[in-house]
Structure 1
Amino acid sequence: MKNQPALDTHSIQSTMLLPLWGRAAASEKNPDILYDRQAIEIIKNCDYDFDSIAKVFGEFSGICYVVRARQIDDAIRAYMQTHPRAVIVNIGAGLDTTFSRVDNGLIRWYNLDLPDAIAYRQSFIPDSERSQSIAKSFFDTTWFEDVHFTPEEGIMFVAGGVFYYFREEELREVVAAMARRFPGGELYFDAESKQAVDKSNRMVQKTGNQRAPMYFYVNDAAALNRWAPEISVVSCLDYFAGIPRSRQWSWRSRLMARASAWMGLMKFIHLRFSHGR
């Protein structure tokens, strides 16, 4: 393992430690949802005190992180059923470990993130022949040229816990450009309502990180159809759809999972890029 480069703990990049903690902590208690062996190993070797994260976020947040990983895994596996040689682009990859769980031996994978985040990632998860890093901002669309794909093989973009940190107008511009550049592609990401984003902001600030505010929220997924003529909403599902509820969860966690569906607090959105209308 390489020496770990410094990571600014008051930055958007540092938020990669939150889902890492969540997947490691919650997957050990909820292996029927997902077991993230690689995240558990990284936690053991990471020079960071995760106690403050655990105290602020608690059980339900950990469950949310492991559920997010499971839903993204399932979406990718479903796509691979018809596109076994697909290209997968993991936007804002951070310390994500999805490739280790879904790799079918044929897909090609790209991890896109800022240069310091990629450097930190590679100290734990080095690139391999079919899993490559792109050290660029999502908004620096020269990364389009680094992604090699054919429409026949297919391409899917995933973004777990990423889009919250950007403004809608910024996202709309880049996603519309993606739709034009990667016709036939698909995008799968999680989003929260305005109410949930406000609460998430308060929780992140409690960890001492004051420089990673969240902006983007989705109250009505149908509005995303207006981002560009080439973009259409395939589905918008409740965050916990299809996820087994454990009796070991506290009553508070079970109640909050139900509230997500009742109030539309958290969801997964699936977009498809057409060949034009």
Structure 2
Amino acid sequence: MPTQLRLSPVQETLLLTLYARALDSRAPAPILGDTLASTVADRIAEDTGYDFAKLRLKRSLIASTALRARKLDDAIRQFIATHPHAVVVDLGCGLDTRLARCNPPVGVGWYNVDFPEVTELRERYSPDRSHLVAADVTEAGWVQSLPGDRPTMIVAEGLLPFLPGTSFQTMIRRLTSRLPTGELVLNGYTRFAAWAMKYHPSIKALGVDAAHGFDDPHEPERWNADLTLVAEQLLTRAPEVAAFPQPVRALTRLMAHSTAMSRQGTRVLHYRF
């Protein structure tokens, strides 16, 4: 009898991003090339009978998901190259195989944080050497499980629009108060992009209501979290767009001519604290 997946609609979005990375890895010219994601997705489908096809992933979403993961990975690699005994905290990690992709030295402490239901799935389908923190990221207590004496890279991929109210800002304040120094990288949704996500076929298929974002990349500097903007990457202008399939590539390059339009697509925001 197939194993049942007991995930809320928001938690189920981890399967959407997992499958997007899996499909990218099967492309003739992958952007991320995460073959482990493909293996994990296949195991889940075999064990549970989960129908990934219902997610209705478009080629644009597959390409943008792979590209943003690649850029976030790059930021982490650069950080741990400078701080070989650092800590990495992956917020809302889902079933991401980022640790395997980044392959940090053994001196790096890696903490994957997500709901208990999700960390159970990680233990079953994607075990690694990371420290698993089973918690709702909006709660206060779990940050005390992190080392408070080492430079830390915080990564939040796809998390911002799904957290209610100002809970994302509150979470970041707790982290930067706990941690001595470090960096934060996230894919920053504008308010319009977060609102429009609700109508994306893949998100509608899961019944998720996502609607939180911010327009000004300097806004987090006003969260009282000691953040300073380092860089805003507009991924419509990334060289990897050359590997996007047509007509996604042509449309992305057209958007790249406008900063305002590019911000409605995928952007990676990088802060220091």
Please state which band the TM-score falls in when normalised by the shorter chain.
Answer: 0.7 to 0.9
Aligned equivalent of 2:228: 232
Alpha-carbon separation, structure 1, partners of 2:157 and 2:3: 23
Aligned equivalent of 2:136: 137
Letter in 2 for 1:7: R
Contact 1:33–1:243 (CA under 8 A) maintained in structure 2: no
Alpha-carbon separation, structure 2, partners of 1:194 and 1:32: 30
Alpha-carbon separation, structure 1, partners of 2:28 and 2:229: 31
- Offset, 1:195: 2.3
Aligned equivalent of 1:110: 111
Contact 2:57–2:202 (CA under 8 A) maintained in structure 1: no
Letter in 2 for 1:120: L
Alpha-carbon separation, structure 2, partners of 1:248 and 1:33: 8
User: Does 2:200 align with 1:203?
Assistant: yes
- Offset, 1:183: 2.6
Aligned equivalent of 1:52: 54
Where do 5+ consecutive residues of structure 1 fail to align?
none
Say which is worse superposed, 35-44 or 248-257, in terms of deviation. Answer: 248-257
Which one of 185, 189, 192 corresponds to residue 186 of structure 2?
Answer: 189
Contact 2:232–2:269 (CA under 8 A) maintained in structure 1: yes
Where do 5+ consecutive residues of structure 2 fail to align?
none
Contact 1:239–1:261 (CA under 8 A) maintained in structure 2: no
Alpha-carbon separation, structure 1, partners of 2:163 and 2:214: 12
Alpha-carbon separation, structure 2, partners of 1:141 and 1:101: 29
Contact 1:157–1:187 (CA under 8 A) maintained in structure 2: yes
Change beyond 3 A, Cα 1:181–1:46: same
Alpha-carbon separation, structure 2, partners of 1:57 and 1:257: 21
Change beyond 3 A, Cα 1:258–1:92: farther
Which one of 11, 15, 28 corresponds to residue 17 of structure 1?
Answer: 15
Change beyond 3 A, Cα 1:189–1:261: farther
- Offset, 1:245: 2.5
Aligned equivalent of 1:119: 120
Alpha-carbon separation, structure 2, partners of 1:121 and 1:115: 10
Letter in 1 for 2:145: D
Alpha-carbon separation, structure 1, partners of 2:182 and 2:248: 39
Alpha-carbon separation, structure 1, partners of 2:202 and 2:31: 28
* Structure 1 counterpart SS, 2:144: helix
Contact 2:241–2:252 (CA under 8 A) maintained in structure 1: no
Aligned equivalent of 1:158: 155
Which TM-score applies when normalising by structure 2?
0.88
Aligned equivalent of 1:73: 73
Alpha-carbon separation, structure 2, partners of 1:74 and 1:269: 13
Contact 2:36–2:97 (CA under 8 A) maintained in structure 1: yes
Aligned equivalent of 2:146: 147
Contact 1:57–1:203 (CA under 8 A) maintained in structure 2: no
Change beyond 3 A, Cα 1:90–1:32: same
Change beyond 3 A, Cα 1:61–1:205: closer
Alpha-carbon separation, structure 2, partners of 1:166 and 1:126: 26
Say which is worse superposed, 193-202 or 66-75, in terms of deviation. Answer: 193-202
- Offset, 1:63: 0.4
Letter in 2 for 1:67: L
Letter in 1 for 2:6: L
Change beyond 3 A, Cα 1:100–1:92: same
